[in-house]
Amino acid sequence: MEHGYHVAIVGATGAVGLELLSILEERKFPVAQLSLLASKRSAGRRLVFAGEEFPVQELTEGSFQRVHFALFSVSSSISKAFGPIATRAGAVVIDDSSAFRMDPDVPLVVTEVNPHALRRHHGIIAHPNCSTIPLVMVLNPLHRRARVKRIVAATYQSVSGAGARAMEELDQQTRALIASEPAEVRVFPHQIAFNCLPHIDAFGEMGYTGEEWKMVRETHKILEDDSIRMSATTVRVPVFRCHSEAVNIETEQKITPHEVRQLLTTAPGVVVIDEPEKSQYPMPLTVAGRDEVFIGRIREDPSHDRAINLWLVADNLRKGAALNMVQIMELLSAENGR
């Protein structure tokens, strides 16, 4: 017990919470004590970690006594309410919501891109959006080599990004439609099975959604460069796991597809699969369950002499969420920072 950490998972019964349990066990993070926290409705459920059953407890103000790390995967309103309570109790909070991402005093961290930002945390570390993480992992080496000037991105985001209920809805709608029965719509504004919804988060400024602005503003903060111009269109697709993105990247200096492949082949956490003539390119079907960001379809933009097009796929529940949170915790524990 004395050789590990007391870890609390807030939102333990959700899609990311369950993935956190799996990754903590898989990576053998030294968990000496585990607190599984959720709403009153979920309290009493039992979840398995390392072969042992743990009860889910109701999240309260007293839930964080002697907790070293509190991993939050809940709504931003709950994070805002309970995150400061956890830090006052002495825990380091790693928060997966949008609550603290744009707070200038809170680091927004992708471990392969800006781990140095962890040094200035004051008890709360923000975790980026699940579409921003794979994008900045690709942009970072290109930005260092040729300076990224402008990005146009279209995302194809799986339903798991909207949580476990959204996954259930896709499953139920698909079964119903195949059986020639009506599809019930509860989680999304329209049927998601056999459909695409260009609507993630609320519509707002300039007709863009919150999800689209998150990608822009988080990219600026993580890469520490507000001069990068960026436009995003985020789309929900009928896929259970993995977000895909079609990205056009304009650079200040010309960079060839060959150079891009070389840079990304050596980038941490990135795998290049780019043999389209052999039908070899990343797909959600083959990337699900993998930790890396997969890149393919790297090619010149015929309409611009200093732009590259590429395709990326990453498991949004792993690197897009739970894995990056655990990696942040690993870096902090290695430095004895808490």
Q: Which of 127, 130, 143, 242 is catalytic?
A: 130
Residue 24: C-alpha distances to residues 11, 21, 100, 288, 335 (Å): 15, 5, 24, 18, 18
- Nearest-5° Cα angle at 188, 186 to 192: 105
Tell me the helix, strand and coil percentages in the chain, rounded to 5: 35, 25, 40
User: What is the 3-class SS of 89-106, one letter each residue?
Assistant: CCCEEEECCCCCCCCCCC
> Torsions phi, psi of 298, nearest 5?
-80, 120
CA distance 264 to 83: 36
Q: What SS3 state is found at 57?
A: strand
Q: Which of 68, 121, 143, 243 is catalytic?
A: 243
130 given a catalytic annotation? yes
Tokens representing 312? 């990326």
242 given a catalytic annotation? no
| Of 267, 95, 71, 329, the residue nearest 108 (C-alpha) | 95
Catalytic residues: 130, 243
